[in-house]
Amino acid sequence: MSATVGTVRLSGSDDPALDLLQAAVGPAVERAEGGRGSVAGLGLLAQGVVDAAAVHLGDARTGRSNDFFVRRVLGGEPAMLVHLWSREQGIVVPKGNPMGIRDVTDLAGTRLAWRPPGTGSRLLLTRLLRDAGVEPPPEAEQCDSHLGVAVAVATGAADAGLAVRSVAESVDAEFLPVEWEDFELAVEPESMGLLAPLLDVLASTAVQDRVSSLSGYDLRCSGDFRIAA
């Protein structure tokens, strides 16, 4: 894949706030084809196809986000994680919650909207169901985005799905909170400088205000970075 000189090649997870950020940055960021989802995005990063991958992969054993998975996919090589924001994931149900769903245990036997294999949200939902002792229901719909999940639920194509709070509110669906997660960019240390235009825009008051206007986002640690442990 070739990119315009001076652009950051980005892959990885879907997120409404990331779409907003990318639009604000403009041509300085180019979204890679075929790299949707945290796992696929990391794969392209490991291959050198992209400069950064957006990830949200929680490690139930350590309680940390992203570190273990980034180091594993990159073969143990040093990697940096740049914090964009924390976001709230939860169960999206139709207005009025006609099935009376309260938590993950009530998803047994429902028609679920699933994200594709390899996405962080699908992995999270699978883990939540397993931990609750619930057999994963079959797919009613497979959705390429968080908004797609919310639309599937709101239109009756699915009974419920896992997505971020902001998309549930955008389609006037109801949202049952599950957990907050760190949404970060994985990048090799030598490529950190390429992120400067994106991080400058992220730090701007205009973008901070626009992301903060979306429900379920916390920007207090935006721009922080660390070596993946």
Does residue 72 surpass a pLDDT of 90? no
The pTM of this model reads 0.93
Does residue 1 surpass a pLDDT of 80? no
Backbone angles phi, psi at 65, to 5 degrees: -105, 130
- 127 confidence band (pLDDT: 50, 70, 90): very high
Percent of the chain having pLDDT more than 70? 97
Q: How far is residue 183's CA from residue 222's CA, in Å, rounded to a whole number?
A: 10
Mean pLDDT, range 122-132, rounded to an integer: 95
DSSP state of 141: E
Does residue 3 surpass a pLDDT of 60? no
Residue 85: which of 203, 219, 225, 224 has the closest Cα? 219
Q: How far is residue 192's CA from residue 29's CA, in Å, rounded to a whole number?
A: 14
Query: Considering the chain, what is the average pLDDT of its residues?
Result: 93
DSSP state of 92: E
Mean pLDDT, range 113-129, rounded to an integer: 95
Residues 6+ apart with CB under 8 A from 168: 90, 92, 150, 174, 175
Q: Within 13 A of 15's CA, how many CA atoms are on the CB side?
A: 31
Question: According to the model, what pLDDT value does residue 5 have?
Answer: 46
Q: How far is residue 163's CA from residue 166's CA, in Å, rounded to a whole number?
A: 9
- 6 confidence band (pLDDT: 50, 70, 90): low
Mean pLDDT, range 183-187, rounded to an integer: 96
User: 118 and 146 in contact (C-beta within 8 Å)?
Assistant: no
Question: According to the model, what pLDDT value does residue 7 have?
Answer: 85
Pick 79 or 99 by higher pLDDT.
99
User: 79 and 189 in contact (C-beta within 8 Å)?
Assistant: yes
Question: According to the model, what pLDDT value does residue 33 have?
Answer: 82
Question: According to the model, what pLDDT value does residue 182 have?
Answer: 96
